[in-house]
Structure 1
């Protein structure tokens, strides 16, 4: 018997994911609150239902890709919602990014009606969705996961089954927390980025550059200053602030009941894949900190970089917070270990020497 798949929510992500299913021959019935968004999919062979309940009634399993927890709950619990037609033999897969409590609430409602439930948030944005290159973080009913794998293989490049409901939501939130923190760590004042760029063109040397005026178009003003810059010091800010964000993510995953190694695997497949994570992550999990770059030298560089920021009136709150963690690690007697040992200071902030 041909499997019919339902899809609820045709925003930026949902539309791209649905289109990939159609291109690979899936029989698809779709719904969106604004029904006109279904038109392009209909042109590619999709059927349209007027309510979420109608989609569920028609399909073997139904996928939802909605904007937030409120929308995810509404589609399930409101009039003409999923609960009105879910029953034994039908599955519901929520691929929205929601918190674990929301996933658990939906799961309990679906299973109380005899249906099976899977949460499956994704790591990736518009382009990976269009290209079928998402990373899928599934948790819940294993049989439904296996049934949906052909669809997951079309929408994503890799799927993880993470166990019980809530783990998928937790993993997605940990990944996005790291991504958000890194976005801040890697994006200081654009003027600083311009300074670093100019120095890099000249060569990675400690040097002095004198400016009469620097025209910074992004800010639209003349910036008169004589600048003293060290490319080696400045360039370390991003990576060491990233290490703090990465360490917090590993700890959050572990404390949330997730496998830290699985987090490393997920990160390595996504848009924030980083050679440092791949190299340092396993040793951080194993608490093996053989020094490649001693922590005490890293903290010294953080201190010098922050001083450089003070000299040039550049606010660097992310770097300042990272420096405090490295200072704590030194006070714990970790100065001669690798700089990744800052993980211990982040993990046990109450510890002291």
Structure 2
């Protein structure tokens, strides 16, 4: 397929590379043009502006850091919203608010195009090895058309339904559960330390018995070793997602006290200059609260 791809950060770059490897033709755009250099060397075409990534009835993927960046690329000057029309499909793979997803879907529909939300679970290493889990929601005809693209970027595609916002709320729910797991593991290891149990031993036992899931194994290893650089998912983005979770919860009058606690944990970490650390660095706050000092 002929595909536009916008957003070549650590996730987007790997995903675009997998589309190229699968034989698709790519037109790419990124705010920092040099991030496209190696993709262009491999056959991708560099676009001068977002709108140049897609024809009126074409396909365009966006993988951007937040809601504001996505809305600028869609509705801003030279955005894809001015180009997409009947037959065109915008595949939004960013982690954004459900309300943003609904608003963009309405914008595209008003111009005859389709909008599919397809956020992912997985970090850059999973993106590079096509091990992402993709959540797909939007008009059925559009979902059927883009399914081969999503399968080229992930190990499993979950078909959620026709309302794009539902894919985004599942993504936020998953990220909230990861935040909660980070806090629970950090508190557990810190408690063990106070009783003389090594952090690594605590996680060895738990991940080889009652919690063998990859999330606990991988994140637990990072937290046990206080290994927070380089970031696989920046703590600043964790705060962004905590804000999105609480905003969504507030819109439906759903109390989420644990999400509020994690928002404060991330805020405290940001105030201490840890925004560029991996979001597991929230565990440092647990150690500090317990009087164990800081490892970074």
Q: TM-score, normalised by structure 2?
A: 0.65
- Paired with 2:178 and 2:20, the residues of 1 have a C-alpha distance of 31
- Paired with 1:36 and 1:76, the residues of 2 have a C-alpha distance of 22
- Paired with 2:184 and 2:109, the residues of 1 have a C-alpha distance of 42
CA contact (8 A) 1:4 1:59 kept: no
Judged with a 3 Å threshold, the aligned counterparts in structure 2 of structure 1 residues 198 and 155 are, in CA distance, closer, same or farther, namely closer
- Paired with 2:199 and 2:71, the residues of 1 have a C-alpha distance of 51
Partner in structure 1 of residue 175 of structure 2: 176
One of 33, 54, 62 as aligned partner of 2:52: 54
Q: For residues 31-77 of structure 1, what are the alpha-carbon distances to aligned partners after superposition, in whole Å with 9 as ceiling and x for unaligned?
A: 11111111010111111111111112277200000000111111001
Structure 1 gaps, min length 5: 205-216, 219-251, 257-312, 316-353
- Paired with 1:28 and 1:109, the residues of 2 have a C-alpha distance of 24
Find out whether 1:7 has 2:8 as its counterpart.
no
Partner in structure 2 of residue 241 of structure 1: none
- Paired with 1:197 and 1:67, the residues of 2 have a C-alpha distance of 36
| Alpha-carbon shift at residue 314 of structure 1 (Å) | 4.0
CA contact (8 A) 2:50 2:80 kept: yes
Structure 2 gaps, min length 5: 206-224, 227-248, 254-288, 292-296
Find out whether 1:31 has 2:29 as its counterpart.
yes
Partner in structure 2 of residue 124 of structure 1: 122
1:54-133 to structure 2, matched below 5 A, reads 54-57=52-55, 60-133=58-131
1:255-270 to structure 2, matched below 5 A, reads none
Q: For residues 288-339 of structure 1, what are the alpha-carbon distances to aligned partners after superposition, in whole Å with 9 as ceiling and x for unaligned?
A: xxxxxxxxxxxxxxxxxxxxxxxxx948xxxxxxxxxxxxxxxxxxxxxxxx
One of 131, 134, 155 as aligned partner of 2:132: 134
Partner in structure 2 of residue 197 of structure 1: 198
CA contact (8 A) 2:56 2:86 kept: no
Judged with a 3 Å threshold, the aligned counterparts in structure 2 of structure 1 residues 85 and 185 are, in CA distance, closer, same or farther, namely same
Partner in structure 2 of residue 155 of structure 1: 153
Indicate the SS of the match to 1:19. helix
Indicate the SS of the match to 2:11. helix
Indicate the SS of the match to 1:62. strand
Indicate the SS of the match to 2:109. helix
1:168-317 to structure 2, matched below 5 A, reads 168-188=167-187, 192-194=191-193, 195-197=196-198, 314=290
| Alpha-carbon shift at residue 188 of structure 1 (Å) | 2.4
The Cα RMSD (Å) is: 2.7
Indicate the SS of the match to 2:158. strand
CA contact (8 A) 1:29 1:59 kept: no
| Alpha-carbon shift at residue 150 of structure 1 (Å) | 1.1
Judged with a 3 Å threshold, the aligned counterparts in structure 2 of structure 1 residues 55 and 181 are, in CA distance, closer, same or farther, namely same
- Bigger Rg over Cα: 1
Judged with a 3 Å threshold, the aligned counterparts in structure 2 of structure 1 residues 79 and 200 are, in CA distance, closer, same or farther, namely closer
CA contact (8 A) 1:56 1:82 kept: yes
Indicate the SS of the match to 1:93. strand
Indicate the SS of the match to 2:186. coil
| Alpha-carbon shift at residue 146 of structure 1 (Å) | 1.2
Indicate the SS of the match to 1:20. helix
Indicate the SS of the match to 1:118. strand
Partner in structure 1 of residue 216 of structure 2: none
CA contact (8 A) 2:99 2:165 kept: yes
- Paired with 2:201 and 2:73, the residues of 1 have a C-alpha distance of 52
